[in-house]
Amino acid sequence: MLGKMITLEGVEGAGKSTQLVMLVDYLRQHGVSVVSTREPGGTLLGEKIRGILLNDDGVCISDESELLLMFTARQQHLQEVIKPALAKGQWVVCDRFIDASYAYQSGGRGMDQHRVQRLEDWVLAGFKPDLTLLLDVPVSAGFSRIQNRGKDRIEQENSAFFERVRRTYLQRAESDYSRIKVIDSSQPVDVVANAIQSCVDALIALS
């Protein structure tokens, strides 16, 4: 793979979408060709699946179905968008990716993480992002930032769910510290952006 993949993770309102736009600008200023994308989504099929997963329209979705749908969207995303872009030397910046499945479906929902691992082994087959930026913010602070927004199906969960999500993200960062960088996202937008740029500078220097 010639390009690099950077993923942004974190609980609701952590600032992923805000920082993604700024990071893409920063990379382009450094002459990097970038594809900006998100999960679930990123392809026509993936965006349809996103609608099923996030619409709060009363459709019954078991925890297992949720996990499988996430990985169905991911499989299509990898095959149709991510791997072709990387093969062309483009960088891919993605709003949520594999770590979200561990944080939400295993940490949040309480599903056995080995189930997630088995799907990761199958769908990703060893593929990993080059860098993951975990935007860490207290759950209540993140939600207060998005209080004027309507809540999607998953956002209806209680605060204990999101505390487990946050904790799982932090545990993953601890056990995979060379890939996952924790950024204190309770700081102002520009301070967070600077911290992200410092992490990314190392990756640009390597390329």
Ligand X SMILES: Nc1ncnc2c1ncn2[C@@H]1O[C@H](COP(=O)(O)OP(=O)(O)OP(=O)(O)O)[C@@H](O)[C@H]1O
Positions in the binding site for Mg ion (CB under 5 A): 16-17
CA atoms within 13 A on the CB side of 18: 16
Cβ at position 128, least distance to ligand X in Å: 22
The yes or no reply on residue 13 touching ligand X (CB under 6 A) is yes
The yes or no reply on residue 94 touching ligand X (CB under 6 A) is no
Q: E strands, the chain, where?
A: 5-9, 34-38, 91-95, 131-136, 180-184
Cβ at position 18, least distance to Mg ion in Å: 8
The yes or no reply on residue 188 touching ligand X (CB under 6 A) is yes
Cβ at position 15, least distance to ligand X in Å: 3
Q: Closest CB to Mg ion among 16 and 164?
A: 16
Beta-bridge mates of residue 93:
6, 36
Q: Is-contact 10 16, C-beta < 8 A?
A: yes
For residue 144, CA distances in Å to 8, 20, 198 come to 20, 20, 28
| Contact string (CB under 6 A) for ligand X, positions 113-152, x = contact | --------------------------------xx------
Q: Is-contact 26 204, C-beta < 8 A?
A: no
Residue numbers 51-70 binding ligand X by CB under 6 A = none
The yes or no reply on residue 40 touching ligand X (CB under 6 A) is no
**Which residue is at the shortest CB distance from ligand X?**
15
Cβ at position 15, least distance to Mg ion in Å: 8
Q: Quick one: which of 8, 23, 80, 17 has its CA closest to 47?
A: 80
Binding site partner of 90, from Mg ion, ligand X, none, Cβ cut-off 5-8 A by kind: none
The yes or no reply on residue 15 touching ligand X (CB under 6 A) is yes
Candidates 1, 2, 189, 202; binder of ligand X (CB under 6 A) is 189
> Quick one: CA dihedral 140, 143, 147, 152, positive or negative?
negative
**Amino acid residing at 30:** H
* Radius of gyration for the chain, computed over Cα atoms and rounded to the nearest angstrom: 16
The residues that touch ligand X, with contacts defined as CB under 6 A, are 10, 12-18, 145-146, 185, 188-189, 192
